[in-house]
Amino acid sequence: MREILVIRLGAMGDVIHVLPAVAALRESFPQTRLTWIVEPRWMPLIDSVLVHQVIPLNRRKWASVRQAWASMRVRAFDLAIDFQGLIKSALVAKASGAARVAGYANPRETPARWFYDVLVKPESAHIVDHHLELAQAIGAAGKAKSFPLPAGTAEGTLPAGRFVLACPFAGWASKEWPLDRYAELGRLLAAHNVRLVLNGHPAVEAQLRRLEHVNVHISSIAGLIDATRRASAVLGLDSGPLHLAAALQKPGVALFGPTDPARNGPYGSTIRVLRSADAVTSYKRLPEVDPSMLALTPAEVGKALLEVLS
């Protein structure tokens, strides 16, 4: 094969989960040109040494759609791999003009499979391994499980001593932990000379700065990558920053509620998962914190973090 198109448009954690599969493709087909099409905001997650070209696609801007289409059509793709399994990503694969399109036999949106020539039904539990199986199906040596990530860029101020990095917001409120509990957790950690740093984007800065006993770190994705590399440990939710930390093999604790950690939890063994015994796997995108997340107390979380740090 001379040209392969990788399709994973977003979001943050999902892009990170595809990295080992793309690394396996790069290692297995060193003479093949790899192109990745992705939403512009997630481009900082893709290292320039991993793929030969990154095509940004903002579906909300017609100029971006037109430019992405033109960028794809100048290449003669032998294969497009849809790692997303949605109708929108399958349409991108088809629009690329690739000779073949590979995807999942049971994609997240069933009609997506109508666009695939190669259908793969994964047998493993975790989504990272699903993607590796998809890469293996087209001939990649699926043993590579590396997460090649950019170095990041230093932004803002971080504590000089030990600190735990947390990102309190997730894609849905039901996956989040109550914001006021981070203040109590920060107080508990400070008693052990460990600072709690809350990372966020500018839109949530005011909410974070209202909390006591925490440091606030506002950054871009590049700044988050750098801060994660520097952290002594992380506290994460089922969201992109947790999967970034797992990819970087940082120690830490993950708080899970309505989503399944077996499928969507931190990959690898460096991060410990806390989940209430009463948690129900529902994947419901509700506007309020799930009861199973409320069951996790600052004392319990602080104890787990201190054990990790020791």
Q: How far is CA 239 from CA 16, 162, 170, 259, 261, in A?
A: 11, 23, 5, 11, 11
Q: What's the CATH architecture for 3-137?
A: 3-Layer(aba) Sandwich (3.40)
Is 20 within 8 Å of 147 (Cβ atoms)? yes
Tell me the three-class secondary structure of 160-227, residue by residue.
Answer: CCCEEEECCCCCCHHHCCCCHHHHHHHHHHHCCCCEEEEEECHHHHHHHHCCCCCEEEECCHHHHHHH
> What H or E segment, with its residue span, contains residue 245?
helix 240-247
Q: Which residues contact 100 (CB under 8 A, 6 or more apart)?
A: 78, 79, 80, 117, 118
Please tell me the distance from the alpha carbon of residue 90 to that of residue 250, in angstroms, as a whole number.
Answer: 34
Side-chain-facing half-sphere of 186: CA atoms under 13 Å:
19
Is 219 within 8 Å of 199 (Cβ atoms)? yes
191, burial (CB in 10 Å: exposed 0-12, middle 13-18, buried 19+): exposed
Where are the chain's structural domains?
Answer: 3-137, 163-309
Per-residue pLDDT of the chain (310 residues; tens, 9 = 90+): 799 999 999 999 999 999 999 999 999 999 999 999 999 999 999 999 999 999 999 999 999 999 999 999 999 999 999 999 999 999 999 999 999 999 999 999 999 999 999 999 999 999 999 999 999 999 998 555 789 999 999 999 999 999 999 999 998 999 999 999 999 999 999 999 999 999 999 999 999 999 999 999 999 999 999 999 999 999 999 999 999 999 999 999 999 999 999 988 999 999 999 999 999 999 999 999 999 999 999 999 999 999 999 9
According to CATH, the topology of domain 163-309 is Rossmann fold (3.40.50)
Same fold, 3-137 and 163-309: yes
Closest CA to 13 of 284, 285, 266: 266
Q: Is-above-0.85 flag for pTM?
A: yes
